[in-house]
Amino acid sequence: MKIGLELHQQLATGKLFCPCPSELSEASRSQFFRRLRATSGEAGALDAAAQQQAARGRLYRYEVTPSSCLVEADEEPPHPLNPEALSVALSLAELLDAHPVDEIQVMRKLVVDGSNTSGFQRTALVAVDGVLQLNGRTYSLPTFCLEEDAARKVEAKDGDSAYRLDRLGIPLLEIATGPEIRSGPEAREVAEALGALLRATRRVRRGIGSIREDVNVSVEGGARVEIKGVQELRLIARFVENEGERQQKLIAIRDELVARAVSPPQAPVQPVTDLFRETTSRSLAGVIRSGGGVWGFALPGFGGLLGKSATDPERLGRELADRARAEGIGGILHSDELPGYGIDAATVAKVRSRLGAEEPQAAFVLVAGPDPAVALRALEAIRQRAEQALSGVPEETRDPLPEGRTRYSRPLPGRHRMYPETDVPPLRVPADLLASVRQHLPERPASARARLEREHGLSAELAHQLVRDGEVDVFDLLRAQGHPPALVARILTQDLPPLEERRGAPLAQSASERARILDGLLVEVARGRLAKEGAPPVLEKMVVEGLPLPAALTESGFAGGENPALEVQVESLLDREHTLWEARGMAAFQPLMGHLMASVRGRIDGQVVAEMLRERLGRRLASRTAPPEGASPTG
């Protein structure tokens, strides 16, 4: 197996070609509509992926937000390349021993899937030939690029899509690795190491979607397949393993087709609507009642290879169905799963006869839909995919699914989608900028981990988590305020991440703002108005519900942070429960502790409470058993 990664990290700067902020917004000020066409690249040919996307003829709606302008709407030429974004890219290149290019030429990369308004994405090569040293291995990093992020898809309905322009134009730093990675777990380790270096620059965005990986996978005898836009680091290994399994199954199907001496499918498409007029299949009956039709064609030699089990996630029938979906058809029916779905054996026999699929090893495919043109286009895509099965694994781009598997998206783009950006002049990299970057390189992750362990007494695991999650600056700022290192590290690595995941967004983008918010909570702990164990529920109110600290304290039952003196509460409890401790002695400690913690939990540290209760209870028990003053030991 060979694996390569392309990491895309959003930068916390202004947008790449305009002065708009890199902020997401749910507010929409206006909207407009576009249809996109494919154009030829620099070499004069059309890219296959762009052709397929443009052929769908979809209408795209774009929502204008406060963080977008006429540049995102493609109504104004792009401004010069953002110098701060360039500085971040050059810093990363230096950290990974890459070589900056002498002159930056912005290129247009054809993308007509609706994710931008112009029909292309701007991208620029910044540095080449870096290396990553990890676990005794060397990984090549051929390219470092700056490019625009795409618009956010917010709706997909009836073949048309809506996009929000807030994300369009946010700078992305793309780092590509060579194909030296050999396994899913290794791919995750490389992605994690590169992510830590990106966060070390202190100028990257946080939150879901701010960093994405394109995972390229091939197995021996297979082909390069790109899994586009994996957002969860923990799923990289699963995507790699599942893609390897998929390619191996496709290779096995190819070998069987070769053994059967199967030729490329050429059987004509035939209408079979009349055979289903009385069908009990709900899906087909609904299409026919609405004026649609059913069409199909034979696949000689493919019988038994499309997949009889719907529970098998990697089967050729699913591959054919994905191609139909890409053309606007919801699904297909094929002979390996029939009779079934309300279609009886007699109808299957009639379909076989009509399509010329009566031989034992012959298969057939059916497509139903309201528009004959769409159905026929889908059948042609299915035919092409069936022909590709004779060669094994086709090169393609696939979309990640939540369970760790993938679905066909489009052909793998090639060089024909690239041509120079005519509205942005070439930029020679200034020598003074390079000198400044080299003079102010950020602390490397390994150095940060060692410092956290040495200066703050953190464990290696806690130091690793802080560096991995990009929380070193926040930790340093809170430590500078005198907050305990162990408590700060626990909040940043254990308490905060799951709450931000539930929120769907980070507490704040900048380290200074995150530290300011958390400092208020930690001050309550330092002043004794809130115990360490009381911090998580208050933090939950702040992060998930977005409450300010005073309201979060009130909602969590810590209004005002005031609490009667602990010794008063302990003595009062011992007075009320004197029959309990008189009867049970020190064995009454646990039930008394339970009573006490019910009233002070979250306000006073449990260890402090236990120490005072144990001391006061022991004192009372001692006074009960001590001899009267002046009496002899024997009484």
Q: Is the pLDDT of residue 157 over 80?
A: no
What is the Cα–Cα distance from 507 to 516, expressed in whole angstroms?
11
Poorest-pLDDT segment among 44-58, 94-108, 271-285, 452-466: 44-58
Res. 561 pLDDT band, cuts 50 70 90:
very low
Query: For position 634, what pLDDT does the model report?
Result: 43
Q: pTM of the entire structure?
A: 0.82
CB distance 329 to 378 below 8 Å: yes
Res. 344 pLDDT band, cuts 50 70 90:
very high
At residue 235, the 3 state secondary structure works out as helix
Question: Mean pLDDT throughout 113-137?
Answer: 94
Question: Mean pLDDT throughout 547-558?
Answer: 81
User: Could you read off the pLDDT of 226-265 as tens digits, one per residue?
Assistant: 999 999 889 999 999 999 999 999 999 999 999 999 999 9
Q: Is the pLDDT of residue 353 over 80?
A: yes
Q: Is the pLDDT of residue 556 over 80?
A: no
Question: Mean pLDDT throughout 381-402?
Answer: 96
Poorest-pLDDT segment among 31-40, 356-365, 479-488: 31-40
b/e sequence 477-494, b meaning 16+ C-beta within 10 Å: bbbeeebebebbbbbbbe
Stretch (H or E) spanning 385? helix 372-388
Higher pLDDT, 621 or 477: 477
User: Could you read off the pLDDT of 291-309 as tens digits, one per residue?
Assistant: 999 999 999 999 999 987 6
Query: For position 173, what pLDDT does the model report?
Result: 97
Q: Is the pLDDT of residue 562 over 50?
A: no
Q: Is the pLDDT of residue 516 over 50?
A: yes
Query: For position 152, what pLDDT does the model report?
Result: 93
Q: Is the pLDDT of residue 144 over 80?
A: yes
Question: Mean pLDDT throughout 463-484?
Answer: 94
Question: Mean pLDDT throughout 87-112?
Answer: 95
What is the Cα–Cα distance from 15 to 22, expressed in whole angstroms?
6
Show the tokens assigned to 590: 């646990």
* Cα distances (Å, whole numbers) of residue 165 to 31, 123, 152, 208, 211: 10, 18, 7, 18, 18
By percentage, how much of the chain surpasses pLDDT 90? Answer: 66
Domains of the chain: 2-258+415-420 (no CATH), 270-389 (3.30.1360.30), 443-561 (no CATH), 566-625 (no CATH)
- Length of the chain, in residues: 635
If one counts every other C-beta atom within 10 angstroms of the C-beta of residue 220, the result is 9
Question: Mean pLDDT throughout 128-140?
Answer: 96
Q: Is the pLDDT of residue 346 over 60?
A: yes
The DSSP code sequence of 123-151 is EEEEEEEEEEEETTEEEEEEEEEEEEPPP
Q: Is the pLDDT of residue 483 over 80?
A: yes
User: Could you read off the pLDDT of 430-466 as tens digits, one per residue?
Assistant: 899 999 999 999 999 999 999 999 999 999 999 999 9
**Residue 615, Ramachandran bin (φ over 0: left; ψ between -120 and 50: alpha; else beta):** alpha
Higher pLDDT, 432 or 413: 432
